[in-house]
Structure 1
């Protein structure tokens, strides 16, 4: 028994040093990211008027943009959403709505509202997709920018996006969800990096926020409000922290490997050369970016992926635990699936920062973090039980101080993100909503973070068991018109 006791004590000592090392590296990396984010945001603010947006809006030489928006059973909001997309401020763009085999009245509503008729269309299948049933254009010249594509469902948003890319006419495409509400100047903001950069920009993204409690009228955002439901509140915190701190830092390092599928602008030729979205992937947005980076490395051509520290897109986030868990399980499976697919890129000198920095970081601190946390909690629970039999078995000082340090660091990063976001963009209706957001940051590590960890572990488990991947359906509530 004495030997077992000594063995467990030695194991705990080793694990303590491992946790100290792991946590220290994580904290240092976050501090570095905070500094890089500050540099990137400051640079963006200073360069904001380098090319005046009014010039772009009036230019006859503007780069054409195709907006690609898959729609599956979106009948509740489809008409207002399409009108919102058509009203964006930009001189040269088209809106491509892909009806992904909807079983509701999505297509019927589009045909009736926009006076659509099926037209002959030269569909060049540069990316392999499910069969396309037809292309529809409006007889009303007011809707000349609208193209609706009807296709068979392959149970994959990626396949629908690829159909939109194949049907597009312009060199850049913006991929979004049809239920997303975009800021009127979104296209201008996202096109600018493609014009200003000396390197070839192959993708650009911007911050996404929750629209769950915001005031929306006929597809147009009237006023932004902090969500009033428990789980959307926490997701808003996540979005502020991830987009403002994380992705701005990765962009500054030119090592960004994730542009959100909800809002991302891409160089169409590079995306097609990379093979488009992988329809079997559960993390198709991240997976495409890695393949696009790989294409540019293989061609030995300098490139850049830009990120804009402005909120340009609002979307309805999962309102309850059931839908949230389903989403996060899919994200976790998508992460590990992507890392496995591109495992040969790890530490391959040919792929630069992606292989030496981005992919290893995502493996260590995105993939492994939930596993280490869960193992640590089990070890703490076991140690507490054993401490009833051996008084000196657990180091309470180390346990309490380390947990307090992690908690304080976590909420400080979140609060700094909130205040920086409010200082720069004043996203919320009043100061009370900002204070409420800060209050939620205090309880997030206790009530919300464990849910995310459990969802990640469940996703990993399902991946290794090779369970069938299911996207699931998030039923949209739609928006109530604002009273005039």
Structure 2
């Protein structure tokens, strides 16, 4: 065998391996999608006749404490707090934790909600940065509101302060820049009420993109698809992730992530597990994994629930620089969580969690961007050296491209047949346009951002980075 024959065989083997990896990961997505659709149909059927308003007066409705960390959120904080205070739920409190903001967030809160310093003892069960003051409103209309001013310690530290102050057995952790549907808490609380032989330790809901949606008095009044390409493709991404991904993991009882944008937790278990980890930027995923690990190690029956209803709307990055910071942070958080809990990897002691969930996240969430990047570099090298079998390469490229489009179309079809939040035909046309562009635009950007996350982790970067908000559209 001469050198040229060897190179030809090597290239063919390389392409076959890449194709097998692609088939493997795509098959897993397809299986998860099928499980999600089955679970989604069951959920809709089960809840089609539920009158959530009855829960408002039910003695079994759990008391909730909403915790909203805020750092330099002056652009949207007034609307966001209005949204939190106007939810359809009787027994809840709102705790806004100002994490040492450098803008006018605290001044806006004090003036808008007529806040005065309250005489409340702060006895932390979880160690945190120093709390400067706790405020309450003199206006009876805002009696549910507590505002905490503290030294800057990061989002996880702010959430831990909220958990320490929370007066109720369940805490709902939410990004302050999010807008909630009015009945969000009713739906989020329902799994805690339905638990019997298994303790529900956490539950989360679907997060949707609010860019170009119209917000008035803290309420979402008009849903629109963003005109800008980057947030528009993120709409597709979120539909796939929540409707075709997390529903399946909920069915398997292997869910590792409750979105930091909106999730509810059993306060007792969260405290016993140690609260949020302030040394990671992926505190939402890490807490869920640690709470599940705690329950396994103490042999306590439990479950983590997921609500497919679109309960929470958040602003997505519109510029590549902000998007890159967000996604590189997500990758660092994934790496930190998987490394912190590496003993769970293929460990039968943790059952499906250790044998399926953690390995899946390792191979497909952590390793996939690196494998794709290396594959892209090798492919470019082979092309420049004239060593590519163009027939095989074209088949592989077309297969991956059309599968990507099919998966996005399936997510859009699922949304249309279930919640139908996008009522305009032009919105679906715009989303379909995004689906055709995504593999050559958004996906490459995501891989690059993940590689930045790898590099930042190796370099020792710990910060979140500035996430500049544009603010919501108003009428």
Q: TM-score, normalised by structure 1?
A: 0.95
- 1:128 aligns to 2:127 (yes or no): yes
Secondary structure of the 1:314 match is strand
- Does residue 1:316 correspond to 2:350, yes or no? no
3-state DSSP class of the match of 1:47?
helix
2:469 is equivalent to residue 471 of structure 1? no
Contact 2:74 2:104 in 1 (8 A): yes
Alignment correspondent of 2:451: 457
Match of 1:276 in 2: 275
Answer yes or no: is the 8 Å Cα contact 1:257–1:289 preserved in 2.
yes
The answer to whether 1:181 aligns with 2:179 is yes
Counterpart-to-counterpart distance in 2, 1:384 and 1:135:
63
| Contact persistence 1:73–1:103 (CA under 8 A) | yes
How far does residue 66 in structure 1 lie from its aligned partner after superposition? 0.4
Distance 1:475 1:385 in 2: 40
Q: What is the CA-CA distance between 1:21 and the residue it aligns to? A: 2.5
- After superposition, the CA RMSD in angstroms is 1.5
Structure 2 residue 433 is matched with structure 1 residue 434: no
8 A Cα contact 2:60 2:193, kept in partner: no
Shift of 1:480: 4.5
Q: Determine the C-alpha separation between the residues in 1 that align with 2:326 and 2:36.
A: 27
**Alpha-carbon distance in structure 2 between the residues aligned to 1:50 and 1:425:** 15
Secondary structure in 1 matching 2:375: helix
Higher relative contact order, structure no. (Cα contacts within 8 Å, ≥ 6 residues apart):
2
Other-structure match for 2:241:
242
The separation in 2 between residues aligned to 1:430 and 1:330, in whole angstroms, is 34
Gaps of 5+ in 1: 388-392
Compute the displacement of 1:50 (Å).
Answer: 6.7
Q: Within the alignment, does 1:42 sit opposite 2:36 as a pair?
A: no
Q: What's the offset of the Cα at 1:3?
A: 4.9
**Contact kept? 2:66, 2:94, Cα under 8 Å:** yes
Structure 1 445/257 Cα, relative in aligned 2: closer, same or farther at 3 Å? Answer: same
Native 8 Å contact 1:217 1:479 kept in 2 = no
Question: What is the deviation of 1:109?
Answer: 1.7
Q: TM-score, normalised by structure 2?
A: 0.97
How far does residue 122 in structure 1 lie from its aligned partner after superposition?
2.2
Return closer, same or farther for 1:401/1:480 CA change in 2, 3 Å cut-off.
closer
Distance 2:165 2:407 in 1: 43
Cα deviation, residue 309, structure 1:
1.4
Q: Are 1:274 and 1:291, in contact at CA under 8 Å, matched by a contact in 2? A: yes
- Equivalent residue for 2:164? 166
Offset of residue 60 of structure 1: 3.4
CA distance in 2, matches of 1:398, 1:361: 28
Paired position in structure 2 for 1:153: 152
The Cα shift of 1:4 comes to 4.1
Other-structure match for 1:390: none
Distance 1:26 1:376 in 2: 15
- Deviation >6 Å, runs of 4+: none
